[in-house]
Chain A
Amino acid sequence: DGGITQSPKYLFRKEGQNVTLSCEQNLNHDAMYWYRQDPGQGLRLIYYSQIVNDFQKGDIAEGYSVSREKKESFPLTVTSAQKNPTAFYLCASKTVDRDGQFFGPGTRLTVL
């Protein structure tokens, strides 16, 4: 998992509640990403950030929000507006001079 940590590993939430997933990296990477993965499917991009205090929507940003106040941190909030939030959430990071992304271990969110 190489310097990218996500917490918690498992998260349970009641319907209608907001929840924040943590992603921290000590790799000094500039760009950070959040993906959602549903069973048997590939990764879909939620949000990404290339520099501090700036971020862009990915393909499925509705119902999610992010912040990038520090280079090493990129928390993701799953809001009550997200219709189907139960999924495996993956955070990744990369340097600007390389295209490959490195992933964290993931957080499995279950809405009860």
Chain B
Amino acid sequence: GESVGLHLPTLSVQEGDNSIINCAYSNSASDYFIWYKQESGKGPQFIIDIRSNMDKRQGQRVTVLLNKTVKHLSLQIAATQPGDSAVYFCAENLTGFQKLVFGTGTRLLVSP
């Protein structure tokens, strides 16, 4: 069945470093992917998304890379700041379905 998972449950970085959070998905029929940031006790916040017809998309300080060959998604955060500390989730949408499948999340810890 479909599933989304993350390689690293916790990532610790120093302020100013670049962070890379990885996500593996198993369903090749997924056509849309999205990254969310969730701070403690709050709802997930949209960061960036990408469609399956693209392999890279950039936002402000963030870049999402999609490798369909190996079913891998990554979120790159440039010049990581303490305010970036949170849990990051990836999610995939199967073509024709109106629901997302979420991974378990990666906790990003940024030290000053």
Binding site for B on A (CB under 8 A): 1, 4, 6, 31, 33, 35, 40-45, 48, 50, 58, 90, 92, 94, 96, 99-106, 108
**B: interface residue count bin:** 10 to 19
By beta carbon, the residue of chain B nearest A4 is B43
**Once bound together, how far apart are the Cα atoms of A106 and B32, in whole Å?**
24
Complex contact B99–A1 (CB within 8 A): no
Asked if A106 contacts B42 (CB within 8 A), the reply is: yes
Task: State whether A90 and B102 are in contact (beta carbons under 8 Å apart), knowing that A42-B89, A100-B34, A100-B49 are contacts in the complex.
Answer: no
Residue-wise interface mask of B (86-101) relative to A, using a CB-CB cutoff of 8 A (1 in contact, 0 not): 0001000100001110
**A55, B100: Cα distance in complex, Å:** 16
Q: Are B99 and A103 touching (Cβ within 8 A)?
A: no
Cβ of B45 < 8 Å from any Cβ of A?
Answer: yes
Task: Given A33-B99, A42-B102, answer yes or no on A100-B46 (Cβ-Cβ < 8 Å).
Answer: yes
Task: Check A99 against B43 for contact (C-beta < 8 Å).
Answer: no
